[in-house]
């Protein structure tokens, strides 16, 4: 791990994995560093059994399956992979130091850390922590765990509606609790959920959780009248967002706006040889999609290649014209 590599990729999610693949395609030596214990980023850590619909080539694909395929593609050129460790600092002579004490030299860096370190936004109840493991969840790892359950999904965004749609196939009852009557989820998903026997409790927030060893009900408060009501359920899934932080990356001397790293049209940061791609970066017209992120990754890799080897072509040609391993 003390060898200098051509590019170090910070983040082993889908965009980082594609960057690793494309760098390998260009005969670059690669190292991937990720704080999570496995590759795949949020696809594996937060919603492995959620369908992804906007990835080219797949009408729909489970997040865990997409992560598996992208990990296979991203590691086919045998990059060094450092998991469960965090890139703490980057010296002027391009040496990355990690939380575990590793010091790893690199010629260039591509930051693909997604939203950074993330933690779920809580409801805000005083006894909230005590209900974790007793029916309170902040995501869904395995749909089968909720078979036959009475589920209350808290939230009005994409995650809330996606899970309501998926859970309706296994749970005995599903309802959505939201603080208003407008939703941030895609219109198509909202229409699909509304067509199902899914209950809606609008203009409501969770005021209390009830139960003994397990959740048996939640008490709701009307956001307009402040009146209280109770609905029976044994499972509460909170999907009201995540708080993210760039963590140590904030100390790297990068230009940051609203917790995102500012890049130019070539995905270069203000530090020479350091790029940022995917959800972690920002520029005019930015779209936070895996599909756009992988394009950013390919561009960043090619620009990094020309920094390391000025005689190299920016565009290597189409992969269909290359002699790649089967």
For the cut 90, the answer to whether the pLDDT of residue 130 exceeds it is yes
Helix (H) / strand (E) containing 202? strand 199-202
Q: How far is CA 183 from CA 27, 111, 187, 221, in A?
A: 46, 32, 9, 19
Residue 326's pLDDT is what? 57
Longest dimension (CA), the chain: 71
Asked if 5-118+242-321 and 122-238 have one fold, the answer is yes
Q: Give the integer Cα–Cα distance in Å for 259 and 247.
A: 10
The pLDDT-based confidence of 285 (bands split at 50, 70, 90) is: very high
Q: Enumerate the H helices of 26-168 as residue ranges.
A: 42-45, 63-74, 158-167
Class of domain 5-118+242-321: alpha beta
The pLDDT-based confidence of 49 (bands split at 50, 70, 90) is: confident
Full-model pTM: 0.74
Give the CATH architecture of domain 122-238. 3-Layer(bba) Sandwich (3.50)
Residue 243's pLDDT is what? 74
Kindly state the average pLDDT of the residues 215-242: 96
For the cut 70, the answer to whether the pLDDT of residue 117 exceeds it is no
In this structure, of 129-143, 276-290, 300-314, the range with the lowest mean pLDDT score is 129-143
Q: Domain map of the chain by residue range?
A: 5-118+242-321, 122-238
Which residue is associated with the tokens 């899914």? 198
In this structure, of 4-8, 65-69, 116-120, 252-256, the range with the lowest mean pLDDT score is 116-120
Kindly state the average pLDDT of the residues 2-23: 96
Collect contacts of 212-218 with beta carbons under 8 A, ≥24 apart.
213/134, 214/134, 214/135, 215/131, 215/134, 215/135, 215/136, 218/152, 218/177
The pLDDT-based confidence of 319 (bands split at 50, 70, 90) is: confident
Kindly state the average pLDDT of the residues 101-126: 90
Residues 6 or more apart whose CB falls under 8 angstroms from that of 240 comprise: 121, 123, 154, 155, 157, 160
Q: Give the integer Cα–Cα distance in Å for 88 and 104.
A: 11
């Amino acid at each position: 791990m003390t060898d200098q590599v051509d590019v170090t990729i910070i983040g082993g999610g889908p965009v980082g994995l594609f960057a690793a693949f494309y760098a390998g395609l260009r005969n670059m030596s690669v190292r991937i560093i990720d704080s999570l214990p496995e590759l795949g980023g949020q696809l594996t850590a937060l919603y492995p059994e959620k369908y992804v619909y906007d990835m080219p080539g797949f009408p729909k694909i489970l997040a865990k399956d997409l992560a598996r395929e992208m990990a296979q593609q991203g590691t086919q050129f045998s990059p060094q992979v450092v998991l469960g460790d965090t890139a703490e600092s980057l010296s002027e002579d391009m040496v990355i130091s990690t939380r575990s004490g590793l010091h790893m030299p690199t010629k260039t860096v591509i930051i693909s850390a997604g939203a950074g370190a993330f933690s779920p936004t809580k409801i805000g109840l005083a006894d909230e922590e005590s209900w974790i493991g007793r029916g309170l969840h902040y995501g869904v790892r395995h749909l089968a765990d909720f078979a036959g359950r009475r589920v209350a999904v808290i939230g009005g965004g994409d995650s809330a509606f996606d899970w309501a749609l998926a859970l309706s196939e296994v749970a005995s009852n599903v309802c959505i609790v939201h603080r208003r009557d407008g939703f941030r989820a895609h219109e198509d998903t909202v229409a699909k959920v509304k067509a199902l026997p899914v209950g809606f409790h609008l203009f409501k927030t969770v005021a209390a959780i009830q139960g003994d060893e397990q959740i048996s009900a939640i008490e709701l408060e009307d956001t307009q009248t402040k009146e209280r009501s109770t609905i029976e359920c044994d499972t509460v899934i909170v999907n009201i967002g995540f708080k993210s932080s760039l963590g140590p990356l904030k100390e790297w001397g990068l230009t940051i706006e609203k917790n995102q790293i500012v890049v130019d049209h070539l995905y270069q940061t203000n530090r020479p040889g350091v790029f940022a791609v995917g959800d972690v970066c920002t520029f005019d017209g930015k779209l936070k999609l895996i599909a756009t992120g992988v394009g950013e990754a390919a561009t960043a890799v090619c620009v990094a290649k020309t920094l390391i080897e000025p005689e190299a072509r920016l565009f290597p040609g189409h992969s269909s014209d290359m002699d790649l391993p089967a």
